[in-house]
Structure 1
Amino acid sequence: MLQERGRVVAIESDAIWVETTQSSACNGCSTKSSCGTGLLGDLFSSSTRIKVALNGFPSDKIHLDDIAVIGITENALTSSALLVYLVPLVSLVLAALIGDSLFAELGAVIGALIGLVVGALGVRWYSRYQSGNPTYTPVLLQIEPSQK
């Protein structure tokens, strides 16, 4: 189970909203302040809000700004990453080959673009189709009270 910590930003009767901050691997590096890569990582870091079911945790014991530990299985992450990267790439290559065999170089370029778009749309459709699948839903593992 892969775990991530995030701050509780909203509480509902059956779920909480957790804000996680995506950061680069440079956060643990001692030379981060003098490195261009570390500075760019800080510039482009962003936060994401995720709705997480309570899974039996009492909502009255959770407060805003508490730290929530959420998790997702390694299998779900691996299969999702493969899907997101491989489907557009394979469709790009296949469509480029088909375009090249039919219309030469210009057909390969246009086919590659069409293949990339079709692959990306296929991934988007599949992710929406799987949105209710509990395998791909993060679970609440632990609540750590805020230090206020």
Structure 2
Amino acid sequence: MIEEQGRVVAVESGAVWVQTQRRSTCSGCVAKNGCGQGLMERLDVRERSGLIRAVSTLQLQVGDAVVLGIEERVLLRGALLVYLFPLLMLLVAASVVAQWSASEPWIIAAGLGGFVIAWGIVRLRSQRAANDPSLQPVVLRAMLAGSSGMQ
């Protein structure tokens, strides 16, 4: 289970909206001086907080510090679907058309077509999965007052 701390900003039936504080690993990275991400971190350019809807059976109030959790398998499957599947579809579509000895513009068009089809599949899948409770973050526990790393 992957855990993250946050603070409740809204309560609804069976769920809460939690604001989390994003943390960067730039301070532990060897390439921090030569990385654009490290520069953005030092300049504090990016938005630092996230708003997440989490399933909860606890009696929580706005302002409560909580620990959220999500299963590793859910995160891994989502990452594979979003990042790897479109890339594979692009390569497969381009390879299939290349096997027919098509010219380069047709191979490029087929690759882009495969990518767009995969993007559509990912979008449909994510819309269907949006309300699946087994794929949602859950509130694991409330934290004692003062023990939160949130500001």
- For the aligned pair, the TM-score class normalised by the smaller chain equals 0.7 to 0.9
Say whether 1:52 aligns with 2:51. Answer: no
**Per-residue displacement from partner, 1:56-101 (whole Å, max 9, x unpaired)?**
x113xx332x322100111111111112122101110111123333
What CA distance in whole angstroms lies between the structure 2 residues aligned with 1:7 and 1:39?
A: 28
Please, what TM-score do these two structures have when normalized by structure 1?
0.79
What is the rounded CA distance, in whole Å, between the counterparts of 1:84 and 1:18 in structure 2? 24
Aligned to 1:44, what secondary structure does the other structure show? coil
Cross-structure match for 1:3: 3
| Local SS of the residue matching 1:6 | strand
SS of residue paired to 1:83: helix
Q: Quote how far apart the aligned CAs of 1:4 are.
A: 0.8
Secondary structure of 1:88's partner? helix
* Structure 2: stretches of 5+ with no match in the other structure: none
* Preserved contact between residue 55 and residue 133 of structure 2 (Cα < 8 Å): no
Greater share of residues in helix = 1
- SS of alignment partner, residue 19 of structure 2: strand
Relative distance call for 1:13 and 1:125 in structure 2 (3 A) is closer
CA change 1:40–1:13 in 2 (3 A) is same
After TM superposition, what 4+ stretches of structure 1 lie above 6 angstroms from structure 2?
Answer: 32-35
Partner Cα distance (2:134, 2:115) in 1: 27
Superposition deviation, residue 33 in structure 1: 9.2
Structure ranking higher on relative contact order (CA contacts 8 Å, 6+ apart): 2
Query: Which residue identity does 1:110 align to in structure 2?
Result: A
Matches within 5 A, 1:56-95: 57-59=58-60, 62-64=61-63, 66-95=64-93
TM-fit CA distance, 1:26: 1.4
Give the corresponding residue for 1:137. 136
What amino acid maps onto 1:58 in structure 2? Q
Amino acid at match of 2:105: L
* Inter-partner Cα distance in structure 2 for 1:36 and 1:91: 29
